Chain A
Amino acid sequence: MIEIHNLTKAFDDIKAVDEISVTIKDNSVFGLIGTNGAGKSTVLRMVCGVLKPDDGTVAVDGTPVYDNAEAKKKLFFIADEPYFFSNANAKTMESYYSGVYENFNAGEFYRYLDNFNLDKNRKISTYSKGMKKQLALLLGICAHTKYLLCDETFDGLDPVMRQGIKSIFAKEMEENGLTPVIASHNLRELEDLCDHVGLLHKGGVLLSKDLEDMKSNIQKVQCVFATEEDARKAEKDMNIMKAERRGSLCTYTVRASREEVIARFAAVNTVFFEALPLSLEEIFISETEVVGYDIKKIILG
């Protein structure tokens, strides 16, 4: 478990991370979402021990990580622009990481390279941006650390590769208890990957929740009521986060279980009723609007 407590970091006069506290549970995919400049990279760089926090603590399985090689054995950090040695190829990088991470599995690495059609003898400088990210991910996965910290790593990966990586994540999580931590500015990229999401904004955490919890507790409903009286009955005592009306078509985002919502609308007279699935984006819009933020501006621009 990675425990981040009151973590603070400023660069000169700019506070990049301001007293954030997040707990990243083991064996789950943690998504760290935020706009550019929200502090995602800074958090990850502190988690992996590159940066020293000004205040607060980062503990990996209870051990402080900064300047602690033992704690870093459990982490592999893939930076937003991963560095590869000049003139290096995949073999060179494998050689380096094999010497650094005791559990690095070279055989598995070369198998993955074949599967992803990455030439181990080709200079990495001639790889495309996506190929470099794949290589970095494969190196990270094959290091077999407990935590894999990915900073914008999935940005730019094509869907096939994403699916491939997702499968490897699933396998590693099942077999080796891997806990990927993925930072991204793009909600849609994390939707199919993450179990838990933390939303960063202006250096602070807006929310941190399990995706399933969020999905099961927020429902979107479209309906046409027979009468206005029916509408008032349905709305009464419901925790409506958002309500829209276009003509007679009403759309509600409601904080409640699916069963509760269906039961409530069954009790009133409706001409049309449908419970719609919510995207991660919509969940975030709803959740953050509640706390006074316009998520469209924060995440979607």
Chain B
Amino acid sequence: MTLKRSFWDKCKENNKRRIWVWAVSILAQLIMYPGITLIYMSRIHSRGMSGEYYGSIGDYQRMLKSTAAEALGFHTNARVVVMLLILAALIALQGFGWLHDRQKLDLYRSVPVREKDRFAVIYFNSVMIWLLPYLASQLLGLLIAALYGAVSGTVLISCAASLIANLFYFLFNLNLFILAIALTGNRILACLGFAFLSVLGEWLYLVFEALRQTMLDTVCYAFSSSRVPLSIFFEYAESTYNWEEQLKYQRSGFITDITPVLVRWAVCAAVLGILAYLCYRKRPAESAGKAIAYPVVWPFIKVMIVVSGALFTANEVYEWSEKNAVIAFIGLVGSAALFSCILEVICELDIRAAARHLVSSGFALSLALVIFCIFWFDVFGYDNYIPERDRVESTAVILGDYSQDYWKYVREPAADAEPGYNVWNGKISMTPYESVSPYEYAENNMFLTDTDAVVALAQKGIALNGQKSRTDASDMVSVEEERSSRYVNVLYRLNNGRRVTRSYEIDMRDPEIAGILDAIIGSKEYRDGFYMPAATPECLTDDNMRLYYTNGSVQTEIAPSDAEELYRAWDHDMEKYDYSYASTHDMCGEIRINALGTIRLPVYDSFTDTIEFLSDRGAYYPLYPDVDDIESLTVTNYNYAEEDSGDSVAYSTYNARSVTAVYEDRTVTEVYEDPEQIRQIMETVYPDTLSQQWRQTDPDDPSYGYMDANYTITIAFKQDMDYPYKKVPDSFSIRHGQVPDFVAEDTAYEE
């Protein structure tokens, strides 16, 4: 306690010794906010003045406002994060660095000032050093924005919200740094301690996730990975970006969305502040100049770093060595020893101290070994776990490959909201919806209640996994095995609200798989969760939506107003659809709903309602053109042998194989005009662009889904034919294994 002076006098006195930090804070924030605002505004203004760069005056004004909100609000780039971190570090070190200096300690600790009062004064000033220049800079920035007519409600809300977010983030980092200072004895170690504490949560998460991913076979990352971040350090940039975006579109829900995160940050900052204060109060003066102020915590820190570092290294080595456990163990022991030595050297600032505290080193090594073995031997049976059926409320299943895009309509602009605009390279675009992954979509929209089928599928996956574990990992997997295996991601929603996810590999050649998949894929619940229109009917009425039908060669547009009726017809036809059907029938076309992405609804010859509807609208064309309309077929054989280079074959989304590189030109082209030959060739072709998702299980099956990438077909239609196919003469490929003998002979390459 200052005996003669008030709190404000003490703050003033303290600030006399913090002038340079004030100067740095003022300068940095002046550049960051009004400086950058001025640069952005003047750039947009000069572009807007010089012509029609932004399209219209309205767009120009919106651009100004959007940019002002960005420059003065959450400022969605790394500059603010870096500045906040550096300022927090500088302010904390300058304010509390005396704890590391014996001379200063002798002065400060011997004078009649209560420690809590000294902490309060330095801490209050530390916050003010950041906050007051921030507020002044924001005000100045707003004045500049106002001069350009760029101040709006969104800009003001953005400024206010970012003030709170930045304040909590600053306090979090400031308190963390003070804690690091109080726990250590010199500035370098305080900085290292801050870095360690900042990333500790995420680092441990990363290590254990890496182990899970490497050691366990059924870990599923597909479904929502939303979790409470273990490091606000990393969360800030992501959250502020999302908030900035959200603010542009939906001001009404904004407060509700950001409040829980801000409260969490505030709580974290407060907890850290309390910890920092306690460590400050209890810190022995003699720890100045040492590495660690509280020797009792050192073994815990050391064990944490050594164990996590050794596990991470062992995991990396395990992967690099193609799952060689012996090498992984050597890596684990070696890295544990190395990390122990390095930490002791850092702690003692003496290279000779490398072999000190062998007990804690030994403990850390043992713990690392135990954890490694837990993962390696799957001690807790993670891979074999299937929830009990009566505990499963519903499931979501995502099978194999994708040809679907998903999005959600979350940003219907509120009446009072600024028009939502994103700025990319000076251009403006509106995005009233956002893309979601198939997994996120399924998680929110697919609710399968036939648990038996899903459990049966899981059991198949576990059995296959067990079978593979018994074989040597280094054994080569045959092409057939590779092609016939599919990964299935399963989300179990349990009665108690818990969610369990697993990823299984299944063998499509297994005769029981078809029955299981029929029960899953053929269900209405699966269809509604997989195809967007059921759960997201807005996609059919979206103003931006375009509706098409394609048979793989010809694409016809259908009026958007027909979308709902067409979907109903298609949905009715889909009653006939299941895995067995899809794996034995070729699609004759597909309906494409385009908005943010493309929704593909398969159409088969048996889909009478759909085909009738399409025919009525003049949108339907058969899969193949009439052979009599074909003048000639030009077949090109690249004569590419698969063994030439594995790198040259790529599998596309549609399971068509494509040749990406041929080192020697062996191309042979043959033109066929004989109607019989044309008929024979046309019987073997299929459009490249139609999905054959379930048609690739057995290469010997005539309906095997892969196209033969060696051959391309170009159709020349007769001159008097008025036919849409004419526009796309090369949309077909020959199915793998069905190339007519005469074609193979005619187009074979001869040395």
Q: Which A positions have Cβ atoms within 8 angstroms of B?
A: 11, 45, 48-52, 67, 69-70, 72-73, 75-77, 79, 81-83, 85-86, 92, 95-102
Contact = CB atoms under 8 A, between A and B. Distances in A.
B114 interface: yes
Q: Which of A49, A50, A98 has the most CB of B within 10 A?
A: A50
A45 B112 contact: no
Closest 5 CB pairs of A and B: A77-B110, A83-B103, A72-B112, A79-B106, A48-B110
B209 to A, nearest CB: 39
A50 B4 contact: no
B4 A69 contact: no
B52 interface: no
A49 B109 contact: yes
Contact of A99 (B2, B104, B105, B285): B2
A147 to B, nearest CB: 11
A51 B285 contact: yes
B10 A99 contact: yes
A98 B3 CA distance: 9
Size category of the B interface is 20 to 34
A11 B17 CA distance: 31
B107 A79 contact: yes
A49 B105 CA distance: 11
19 contacts: A11-B286, A45-B285, A48-B109, A48-B110, A49-B109, A49-B110, A50-B105, A50-B285, A51-B285, A51-B286, A52-B285, A72-B112, A76-B110, A82-B103, A83-B101, A83-B103, A98-B4, A100-B113, A101-B3
Interface of B: 1-5, 9-10, 13, 16-17, 101, 103-107, 109-115, 284-286
Contacts of A67: 115
Contacts of A96: 13
Contacts of B107: 79, 82-83
A126 B154 CA distance: 56
B104 A72 contact: no
Query: Which among A45, A95, A97 has the greatest number of chain B C-beta atoms within 10 A?
Result: A45
Nearest to A100: B111
A83 B106 contact: yes
Contacts of A79: 103, 106-107, 110
Contact of A50 (B2, B17, B110, B112): B110
Contacts of A101: 3, 111-112
Nearest to B290: A12
Contact of A73 (B3, B13, B105, B115): B3
A67 B285 CA distance: 12
Contacts of A100: 2-3, 111-113
Contacts of A50: 105-106, 109-110, 285
Contacts of B104: 83
B1 A69 contact: yes
Contacts of A99: 2-5, 9-10, 13
From B2, B4, B104, B286, residue with most partner A Cβ within 10 Å: B286
B296 to A, nearest CB: 13
A82 B103 CA distance: 7
B13 A95 contact: yes
From A51, A77, A100, name the one whose CB has the most chain B CB atoms within 10 angstroms: A100
A110 to B, nearest CB: 18
A70 B2 contact: no
Nearest to B287: A11
Contacts of B9: 99
A67 B9 CA distance: 22
Nearest to A151: B106
Contacts of B1: 69
Given A45-B106, A69-B113, A70-B112, A85 B4 contact: no
A280 to B, nearest CB: 28
Contacts of B2: 99-100
Nearest to B103: A83
Contacts of A102: 3-4
A51 to B, nearest CB: 5
A77 B112 contact: no
Nearest to A66: B109
B174 to A, nearest CB: 22
B112 A85 contact: no
A48 to B, nearest CB: 4
Nearest to A65: B110
A48 B112 CA distance: 10
A50 to B, nearest CB: 4
A95 B16 CA distance: 11
Nearest to A96: B13
A92 B115 contact: no
Given A99-B4, A102-B3, 19 more contacts: A45-B285, A49-B109, A50-B110, A51-B285, A52-B284, A73-B3, A75-B110, A75-B112, A76-B110, A83-B106, A86-B17, A95-B13, A97-B111, A99-B2, A99-B9, A100-B2, A101-B3, A101-B111, A102-B4
A69 B105 contact: no
A246 B10 CA distance: 69
Contacts of B103: 79, 81-83
A97 B112 CA distance: 10
Contacts of A82: 103, 106-107
Nearest to A79: B106
A99 B113 CA distance: 10
Nearest to A10: B286
A67 B117 CA distance: 12
Contacts of A72: 110-112
Contacts of A69: 1, 112-114
Contacts of B285: 45, 50-52
A107 to B, nearest CB: 16
Contacts of B5: 99
A265 B619 CA distance: 142
A83 B104 CA distance: 6
Contacts of B111: 72, 97, 100-101
Nearest to B106: A79
Contacts of B10: 99
A120 B653 CA distance: 82
A96 B105 CA distance: 15
Contacts of B4: 98-99, 102
A14 to B, nearest CB: 11
A29 to B, nearest CB: 20
A94 to B, nearest CB: 12
A73 B110 CA distance: 9
Contacts of B101: 83
A58 B595 CA distance: 80
Contacts of A81: 103
Contacts of A86: 17
A30 to B, nearest CB: 17
Contacts of A95: 13, 16
B293 to A, nearest CB: 13
Nearest to B5: A99
Nearest to A98: B4
B547 to A, nearest CB: 74
A72 B105 CA distance: 14
Contacts of A70: 112
A69 B2 CA distance: 10
A179 B134 CA distance: 50
Nearest to B2: A99
Contacts of A76: 110
Contacts of B113: 69, 100
A96 B15 CA distance: 12
Nearest to A143: B111
Nearest to A104: B4
A51 B4 CA distance: 25
Nearest to B282: A52
A135 to B, nearest CB: 13
A85 B19 CA distance: 13
A79 B284 CA distance: 18
Contacts of B286: 11, 51
A208 B5 CA distance: 40
A82 B113 CA distance: 18
B613 to A, nearest CB: 84
A189 B195 CA distance: 50
